[in-house]
Structure 1
Amino acid sequence: MTRWLLLTLALALSLLAACGRGVPQDARIVVAGDSVMAWNRSAGASVADRLEARLGEPVGDVSLPLAQVTGGRGPLNIPAQLDGVRAPWVVLNGGANDLSGCDCARCEPVLDRLISDDGRRGANPALVTDLRARGSRVVWADYYTSPRYAGTACEAPYRVLETRLARMAASDPGVTLVDMDRVFSPDDLSLFASDRTHPSRKGSARMADTIAPLLRR
């Protein structure tokens, strides 16, 4: 990679970090994770934006596109996004960018790093355990099936991830798994951005509407 490309990448990542909304001092809810959470932020219509409007209170947002659970540096690492954050509620997702390099067919090692079959070990449970020790309750937003990947081999790793996350959540009453496949259909293109992967504004609102009742005072 040329020096120019490295500088361009560094600038792009810096801009992504600068786009984060941050955490208001009085926020009792903080959103973290990857681009599914951060999408539509420039239009004031991300999941955090919609939660803030729905609940009528400040909502922190440290989510960023490209963020990973087991990789990434600084704010592009989801556990690092939450360094120093102490909030009654943390809403997050994670794992899609970790799985992006396994070609949808050889994902078991990546899945095992994220979360073990019993849901008790791996980077995801470690993050949740850390947040719970800080006094946070956790809402984990599981991924929906997007039109781009519906009906392909790429669905399988996410089904495994969901099953393992459900086992993780079942072991702790302070953790709730929200299955977005229950409110998203890959056939409803109005819920998706033009890339057929990320949520449209309507999709981000749908996510927030599903999560908000869990967060009411």
Structure 2
Amino acid sequence: MLKKLIVFGAVMAALASCQESVSRNESARILAIGDSLMTWNSTLGKSVPHVIEKELKEPVVDRAVSGAWMTTRNNGGDGKGFSIPYQYVEGDWDWVVINGGGNDLLFGCGCGKCDGVIDEMISEDGTTGQIPEFLRRVRDDGARVLYFGYLRSPGLLTPIEHCKNDGNELETRLVRFATEEEGVIFATMADVVPKGGLSYFSPDLIHPSRKSSRKIGQRLAEIITFYDTREEFPADEGQLDLIAEQPAPVLAFQEE
């Protein structure tokens, strides 16, 4: 067990050190922060931020870290990098692309009795909690916020089927927040994976394959392009029905 913890700590430290430096990308107007759904396939140059870069033909600063939680917490040292709000760096951003919350559910409450963990992240009515507070701060700094949800696994048996209800509840609250909040968009990914879509996942049946990272990145790039020419974000309440109809969400998972 001790050996596993040492190896795990080394892996997480290495991943954290791979965060892009803002100073090296001073021309970038898009910042990406989040967990392993964002970072997966990055070593191949095929992660979600890489796809956004390719689609928009412009740089994206990627400061996401695998294993990151949305809630801020004391996880040794200053904890920065492992809590998504600490990944955020103020800048002249037009867009901040964000995902997160899955690790909080899986490791914070085991996708069991998660009411308290979900409430800490975002209230039932979507108005208060660490996520609304953080997203408002990013928005008030001058950026548009694009928060995207997790994949689903219809027709597949994954290691985290028990996370279905809590994942759906979290995303339902996020939709409520984005529907009422100016300058914030929630993009569902609940319809990306077709029934039995095994090729949409890595071998662990948890993380996205390159195909899924590509589809997520393309969707986000389309949203950015669409709203770059608009001042307002029309609400898409239909996402609530889409989320409710989907089976278990595939949540970002800490590597072991």
Asked if TM exceeds 0.5, the reply is: yes
- Map 1:96-135 → 2, pairs under 5 A: 96-101=102-107, 102-135=109-142
CA shift at 1:213, angstroms? 1.3
1:17 maps to a residue whose letter is A
CA shift at 1:214, angstroms? 1.6
Contact 2:68 2:81 in 1 (8 A): yes
2:150 maps to a residue whose letter is Y
Distance 1:86 1:6, change over 3 A: farther
1:20 maps to 19
Measured in 2, the distance between the counterparts of 1:113 and 1:121 equals: 9
CA shift at 1:191, angstroms? 1.2
CA shift at 1:205, angstroms? 0.3
1:183 maps to 192
Measured in 1, the distance between the counterparts of 2:157 and 2:66 equals: 18
Structure 1 unaligned spans of 5+: none
Distance 1:179 1:44, change over 3 A: same
Contact 1:28 1:87 in 2 (8 A): yes
1:76 maps to 82
Contact 2:104 2:117 in 1 (8 A): yes
Measured in 2, the distance between the counterparts of 1:166 and 1:110 equals: 18
* Other structure's SS at 2:52 match: helix
Contact 2:15 2:66 in 1 (8 A): yes
Measured in 2, the distance between the counterparts of 1:137 and 1:156 equals: 29
Contact 1:148 1:197 in 2 (8 A): no
* Other structure's SS at 1:76 match: coil
CA shift at 1:103, angstroms? 2.6
Measured in 1, the distance between the counterparts of 2:87 and 2:145 equals: 15
2:11 maps to a residue whose letter is A
TM-score (norm 1): 0.92
TM-score (norm 2): 0.78
Distance 1:88 1:99, change over 3 A: same
1:55 maps to a residue whose letter is L
Contact 2:98 2:148 in 1 (8 A): yes
Structure 2 unaligned spans of 5+: 229-256
Contact 1:145 1:186 in 2 (8 A): no
Measured in 1, the distance between the counterparts of 2:30 and 2:223 equals: 11
2:29 maps to a residue whose letter is R
1:199 maps to 208
Contact 1:138 1:175 in 2 (8 A): yes
1:40 maps to 41
Measured in 1, the distance between the counterparts of 2:11 and 2:203 equals: 21
Contact 1:149 1:155 in 2 (8 A): no
Measured in 2, the distance between the counterparts of 1:63 and 1:74 equals: 11
2:220 maps to 211
How many residues are treated as equivalent by the alignment? 216
* Other structure's SS at 2:32 match: strand
2:98 maps to a residue whose letter is L
Q: Percent identity?
A: 36
CA shift at 1:22, angstroms? 3.7
2:169 maps to 160
